Amino acid sequence: MYRIVDSKRLAENIQYLEVEAKWAARSCQPGQFVIVRIDEDGERIPLTVCDYNREKGTVTIVVQAVGASSKRMLDLKAGDSFADFVGPLGKPSEFIEENIDDLKKKSILFVAGGLGTAPVYPQVKWLHNNGVNADVIIGSKTKDLLIYEDEMKAVAGNLYITTDDGSYGRSGMVTKVIEDLVNEGKKYDVCVAIGPMIMMKFVCKLTKELGIPTIVSMNPIMVDGTGMCGACRLTVDGEVKFACVDGPEFDGHKVDFDQAMKRQQLYKTEEGRAYLALTEGDTHHGGCGNCGGDK
C-alpha cells in the first residue's frame, strides 16, 4: 500500500495528492509518469509526475475527475492509501540530458494549459534549481480553474497568466500571449507546451510559423501506460509511436495532431476500438516493439 501524506483540493474536480512511494521518488525525473490504482477494483490510471521529494520519499500527482476511479480519488485524504503506485515510466524531459551551461544560454518558454500546469511545474522547478530561467504562460478557462500559480511564481523567470473569459490575468488563449511576447521583442530558442490536445495543436501551428522549436507531451492520450492497449498510438514524422513508451514528449512540429485527436475520440467506444484494430493491423498495439504486446 502507498500511503497518502497530503491531500488538498486545487480547483473543482482537481485534487493534489502527495504519496509515499520511496522507489519512485528515488529515481523519477521531470517529464515522467506513474501508474496508480486506488484499489483492486480500480482502473489503472497513468498520471504525470507533478513533483517529488527524494528525502521524504514522496511523489506528488494531480488528479482530475474524468471517470469513476479518478472521481473516487478526489475523496482521498491524508492517511488513505493507493493499492498500486508504479513508476517512474516514460522518458524524462530532454532538458535533463543537456549540458547546464548550454541550457543557461537558451531562452525557454513553457506553455501550460489547464491541468497541463502540473507536469510543467517540475520541469521549470528543475531548471530553476539548476540556475536556468524560463518564462511560463499558464492558460485557464476561468480564474477558479487556475492551479499552481504561487508555486510557479517561485520558480519561473517570468510568469504570464491568461484566462479564456478574462476573469484573471490577461484575456484570451495562450497563443495570443505568445504572439504578444514575440511582438514585444521576446525571442525564444525552444518552447514546451503541455495541455489539452487542441491547445498543443494550435501552439505548434503558431510556433512553427514563428520558427520556435516546440516540444509537446502526449500524456493526454495515454490509457494503459505500457504500450499494450494501443490508445496512445500516434504518428510522428510519418512513423508510428506510442506516447507511453516512446515519449511522452515529442517534437510538436512533427506530431499529426488531427489524426491523434480523431483516434482519441474513436478509442472511447467499443465500436471505435474494433475499427482501429481492424484498420491498423499489427501496429494497433505492440507496434512499438518494446512492450511485448505484439507477441
| Contacting residues for 292 by C-beta, under 8 A, at least 6 apart | 228, 286
Look-up of cell digits 507533478: 50
- Looking at residue 48, its pLDDT comes to 87
CB 122 within 8 A of CB 51: yes
Q: Which CATH class is domain 94-217?
A: alpha beta
CB 80 within 8 A of CB 110: no
- Looking at residue 236, its pLDDT comes to 83
- Looking at residue 269, its pLDDT comes to 44
Q: Which three cell numbers stand for residue 203?
A: 501552439
Give the pLDDT confidence of 8-25 residue by residue, as tens digits.
999 888 899 999 999 899
Pairwise CA distance, residues 281 & 233, whole Å: 12
Is residue 287 very low, low, confident or very high in pLDDT (cuts 50, 70, 90)? very low
**φ/ψ (deg, to 5) at 83:** -70, -40
Is residue 281 very low, low, confident or very high in pLDDT (cuts 50, 70, 90)? low
Is residue 43 very low, low, confident or very high in pLDDT (cuts 50, 70, 90)? confident
Pairwise CA distance, residues 20 & 4, whole Å: 6
Q: Which three cell numbers stand for residue 76?
A: 482521498
Q: Which three cell numbers stand for residue 274?
A: 474494433
CB 232 within 8 A of CB 221: yes
Which of residues 170 and 246 earns the better pLDDT score? 170
Instruction: Return the CA Rg of the chain.
Output: 19
| CATH homologous superfamily for the domain 2-89 | Translation factors (2.40.30.10)
Which of residues 269 and 26 earns the better pLDDT score? 26
pTM over 0.85: no
Pairwise CA distance, residues 153 & 248, whole Å: 25
Mean pLDDT, to the nearest integer, of 192-212? 92
Q: Which three cell numbers stand for residue 90?
A: 516514460
- Domain positions in the chain: 2-89, 94-217, 222-246+254-295
Cis bond leading into 92, ω under 30°? no
Is residue 282 very low, low, confident or very high in pLDDT (cuts 50, 70, 90)? low
Name the DSSP letter for residue 141.
Answer: S
Q: 281: exposed, middle or buried (C-beta count within 10 Å: 0-12, 13-18, 19+)?
A: exposed
Nearest of 197, 258, 266, 256 to residue 230 by alpha carbon? 266
Give the pLDDT confidence of 142-160 residue by residue, as tens digits.
898 889 899 999 999 999 9
Q: Which three cell numbers stand for residue 292?
A: 511485448
Give the pLDDT confidence of 164-177 residue by residue, as tens digits.
888 888 888 999 99
Pairwise CA distance, residues 64 & 49, whole Å: 14
Mean pLDDT, to the nearest integer, of 101-123? 91
Three-state secondary structure call for residue 170: strand
Look-up of cell digits 474524468: 66
The answer on pLDDT for 291 being more than 50 is no
Look-up of cell digits 478509442: 267
